[in-house]
Structure 1
Amino acid sequence: LTGSKVCESGNALTEFVSPTDGIPIENNESKRRLYGVRILGRQVRMEKDGRFRAPFRPAYISGAFLIKSPEKEQKMENTQRFSAKKIALAAMFTALAFGLSFLDFPIFPATPFLKLDFSFAVLLLASYMLGPVFSELMIAAVYALHIPFGGTGGIGELANFIMANCFIFLPSLIYRFKKGLPTVLLSMFFGMLLQTAAALLTNRFIMFPLWAGDGAAEFFSSVIWYIIAFNLIKCAANGVITLLLYKRLKRVLKVFFD
């Protein structure tokens, strides 16, 4: 229908000039990205010259066409941020991470208090899928639930909460703004370094003074390399598991969210 108009993200309008010519783009309001238009139920693509090309010719055009604007998509995303499905999924991941945190084991005989578990993999995986807000909530929930089972009155849980934020929350925050495998790998690497640094600080100034009292500095000096090695191994192991599971589980969860 020559002369029919389609709304392009806001008030900018464009017209069909010919059924065989595709649709020229008139973006005189702002340079916003077009999100898609359908011709007879089939998706068309936008070429570099600024035209929508039909997947078949002649392109007989009929009916009404909607193009989602970035503003509407952002509002919808914000509205669905705490949907029932996401809350249920976050609760499931939190429970799984909490359970896995008790299946820990030491890897260095000289430091039996440094125990490896794989709860970080669950939390990191969930954080990439659900975003940094849920990441923070899940981390806080796991270590709050741990307080009655710990013997440090919440001090140890606070230290673990700080370290978990370095390796889990920070990568999920970066991934929120820039997705892709290179981002995942780079954010994990920096998260691993940051967690190792946080582990040194929290053990030196929080945990060891609680355990060793006046001998904290001497004890810390004797195990510093074990702490560094342990945290690097823990982050690497949990990171590898996350990478192995992410793509497969993402396909399953796509059905869940759709």
Structure 2
Amino acid sequence: MIKTKCNSSAKLNFKVRDITKISLLSAIAFLLMVFAEFPLPLFPSFLKFGLSDLPALIGGFAMGPVTGIIIEFIKNLLHFFFKSETGGVGNLANFIVGIGFVVPAAVVYSVNKTKKGAVIGMAVGTVTMTLLASLANYYVLIPLYAKVYSMDAILNMMSQANKAIVDLKTYIVYAVIPFNILKAVVVSIITLLIYKKVSPILHM
């Protein structure tokens, strides 16, 4: 009986610790999304560059891909309630693209928990994220934005940022693909620099 109580207590403590870690990483991701995102030259202003996927990637490496999904979901749910300016379309985009990067990277790293495994995982995540972002923008996200605004207004905003963008196909080629590759590369480099320093805290 005593042993059973000890095991139950240990499991409960483990769950509480995990919930605490996920909550902290989600809060950091939310704050990064709110206060540290900004547009870049040559990209439409609604494509905001930031590091809010960084806590999700670190959480995914430390606790598995499901944790990365949870952090991405909580981050976007909080942003939707407190800061959303696009009726949730921007949050849907951020969530789809975020898990497209975090989940493949975390899955590969879970199989090979080395620096090489992390690099391969993030490379796979970068490709998956860019492909998913391209398909989602072309078939889902921009059509949804067009319902909130109008397709003419969106294309005008795109062409003002980059004259080479004249339709959805050129938007994918000149904006979505390079933007997501750049974002993934920057997040990957920072992860490589800090993960080993923060992972002992996440494994406590």
TM-score range, shorter chain: 0.7 to 0.9
Q: TM-score, normalised by structure 2?
A: 0.78
TM-score by length of 1: 0.63
What residue is the counterpart of 1:235 in the other structure? 184
| Counterpart for residue 119 of structure 1 | 52
| Percent of matched pairs sharing the same residue | 28
Match of 1:87 in 2: 19
> Deviations for 1:208-258, whole angstroms, at most 9, x for unmatched residues?
22334555795323322221111000000011111100111123445xx1x
Q: Counterparts of 2:14 and 2:76 in 1: how far apart (Å)?
A: 21
1:189-200 to 2 correspondence within 5 Å?
189-200=123-134
Counterpart of 2:91 in structure 1 is 157
Find the residue that maps to 2:167 and give its secondary structure.
helix
- The 1:175/1:96 distance shift into structure 2, 3 A limit, reads same
Where does the alignment leave 5 or more consecutive residues of structure 1 unmatched?
1-74
- 1:89 Cα deviation from its structure 2 partner: 1.0
Instruction: Give 1:80 shift.
Output: 7.3
Counterpart for residue 62 of structure 1: none
CA–CA separation in structure 2 for the residues paired with 1:195 and 1:107: 19
Distance 1:137 1:210 in 2: 24
> Structure 2 CA distance, aligned partners of 1:134 and 1:81?
17
Cα distance, 1:108 vs structure 2: 2.2
User: 1:81 offset after TM fit, Å?
Assistant: 9.8
* Off by >6 Å, runs of 4+ in structure 1: none
Give the deviation of 1:136 after TM superposition: 1.8
**Relative to structure 2, which stretch is displaced further, 138-147 or 150-159?**
150-159
Q: Which protein is richer in strand relative to its size?
A: 1
Which letter maps to 1:219?
D
In the aligned structure 1, how far is the partner of 2:48 from the partner of 2:142?
16
CA 1:162 to 1:108, structure 2 compared with 1: closer, same or farther past 3 Å? same
Following the alignment from structure 1 to structure 2, what is the Cα–Cα distance between the partners of residues 204 and 81? Answer: 45
- Answering whether residue 168 of structure 2 is matched by residue 220 of structure 1, we say yes
Equivalent residue letter for 2:66 = V
> What RMSD, in angstroms, separates the aligned Cα atoms of the two structures?
2.6
Q: Could you say which structure has the larger radius of gyration?
A: 1
Residues 191-210 of structure 1 mapped to structure 2, 5 A cutoff = 191-210=125-144
Shift of 1:167: 0.6
Letter in 2 for 1:152: T
Whether the 8 Å CA contact 1:166–1:195 is kept in 2: the answer is yes
Superposed CA deviations along residues 158-206 of structure 1, whole A, max 9, x for unmatched, are: 2221111111122112222332111111111011011111111121122
Q: Which structure exhibits the higher relative contact order, with contacts defined as CA atoms closer than 8 Å and separated by 6 or more residues?
A: 2
Task: Call closer, same or farther: CA 1:178–1:80 in 2, change over 3 Å.
Answer: farther
What is the number of equivalent residue pairs in this alignment? 180
Question: What per-residue deviation string (whole Å, max 9, x for no partner) do you get for residues 105-147 of structure 1?
Answer: 1112442221111111121112111212222211111111122
**Structure 1: distance between partners of 2:181 and 2:56:** 17
Q: Which has the higher helix share?
A: 2
Whether the aligned pair in 1 keeps the contact of 2:105 and 2:123 (CA below 8 Å) is no
Counterpart of 2:200 in structure 1 is 251
C-alpha spacing 1:185/1:110, structure 2 compared with 1 (3 Å): closer
Residues 176 and 100 of structure 1, relative CA distance in 2, 3 Å threshold: same
**Aligned mates of 2:43, 2:99 — CA distance in 1:** 27
Cα 1:131–1:110 shift into 2, 3 Å: closer
Which runs of no fewer than 5 residues in structure 2 stay unpaired?
1-6, 156-165
Instruction: Report if aligned partners of 1:111, 1:223 keep a CA contact under 8 Å in 2.
Output: no
